[in-house]
Amino acid sequence: MSLKILVVDDEPDVCKLLKSLLEALGIETLALTDSQEAARRVASEKFDGIVLDARMPSPDGFELTRQVRTHPLNREAPIIMITASDDVATMRQGFRAGISFFLGKPFTQEKLYRLFRAARGSMLREKRRYARLPYRTVVICTFREEKHTVTSLNVCEGGLALESAAGAPPGEHLELEFRLPTSPQPLKLRGKVIRKEPPDRTAVLFVDLQESDRAALQEFIAGRVKE
């Protein structure tokens, strides 16, 4: 199962090195030197893990981490912070912001690979949460007090892709009702439109999932997504 990682460092040489080392592990890597662009990407694009530098122009690594943790799409993704300051105060600040792991500068290929081996399990779990399985079923979609019958394209633990959402724009909250073959009762979930794709496809993120609904989705996905 190929991982997708975001790398953010304002030093182009470091960005290039990290991208090269991670791609050598078979990891799909998006490397950015602009932390503002990175903030925009994490709001709309799913990553299985994020590697970022602590000290960058605004937003710095701490603020960018806080922003990541506010976006439903990536808020649980493991985040590795690269820092030359491995003192207790810096690490405490990082953990408060939401950092998962630290990588000290200067780092070696061996240190990076060792850290990724340690982080791989949590990154794979994050990928499985959003691994989309082809699944076509009828979805009753309600927004602005109107019900519409639409068809799903795929499903994951985190959301659905729909052929249409009857014109619901990005940011719109929806009520969703659909069935899974492994669940005796239809699921009734809340969702939020996060992206429109041509010609009329809609990506919906589940919000405020109940544990019973999450378990039903996990049961359906279990055994169908391989490492």
In 3D space, the residue among 132, 134, 131 whose CA is nearest the CA of residue 123 turns out to be 131
The per-residue pLDDT of the chain, averaged, comes to 91
Domain spanning 4-130: which CATH class is it, in words?
alpha beta
In this predicted structure, what is the pLDDT of residue 177?
97
In 3D space, the residue among 146, 144, 145, 132 whose CA is nearest the CA of residue 201 turns out to be 132
In this predicted structure, what is the pLDDT of residue 192?
93
Report the alpha-carbon distance of residue 14 to residue 168 in Å, rounded.
41
Which residue stretches of the chain are H helix? 12-23, 35-44, 61-68, 88-97, 109-130, 211-221
pLDDT in tens, 71-90: 888 999 999 999 987 678 88
Least confident of 109-118, 164-173, 178-187, 199-208: 164-173
In 3D space, the residue among 204, 221, 111, 208 whose CA is nearest the CA of residue 157 turns out to be 221
When pLDDT is cut at 50, 70 and 90, the band that residue 218 belongs to is: confident
Mean pLDDT over residues 216-221, rounded?
Answer: 87
Q: Where are the domains of the chain?
A: 4-130, 133-221
Q: Are 61 and 55 in contact (CB under 8 A)?
A: yes
In 3D space, the residue among 61, 100, 108 whose CA is nearest the CA of residue 80 turns out to be 100
In this predicted structure, what is the pLDDT of residue 1?
59
- The residue with greater pLDDT, 130 or 161, is 161
pLDDT at 98 over 90: yes
User: What DSSP character marks residue 185?
Assistant: S
Give domain 133-221's CATH superfamily. predicted glycosyltransferase like domains (2.40.10.220)
Least confident of 45-54, 127-136, 142-151: 127-136
In this predicted structure, what is the pLDDT of residue 142?
94
pLDDT at 197 over 70: yes
- The residue with greater pLDDT, 11 or 85, is 11
Mean pLDDT over residues 25-34, rounded?
Answer: 96
Report the alpha-carbon distance of residue 144 to residue 141 in Å, rounded.
10
Residue 168, token pair as written in the block: 């619901």
Residue 5: φ, ψ to 5°: -120, 140
Q: Are 170 and 157 in contact (CB under 8 A)?
A: no
In this predicted structure, what is the pLDDT of residue 225?
56
When pLDDT is cut at 50, 70 and 90, the band that residue 153 belongs to is: very high
Q: Are 60 and 54 in contact (CB under 8 A)?
A: yes
Q: Are 68 and 79 in contact (CB under 8 A)?
A: yes
Mean pLDDT over residues 88-104, rounded?
Answer: 92
Report the alpha-carbon distance of residue 144 to residue 77 in Å, rounded.
32
In 3D space, the residue among 113, 133, 137, 151 whose CA is nearest the CA of residue 219 turns out to be 133
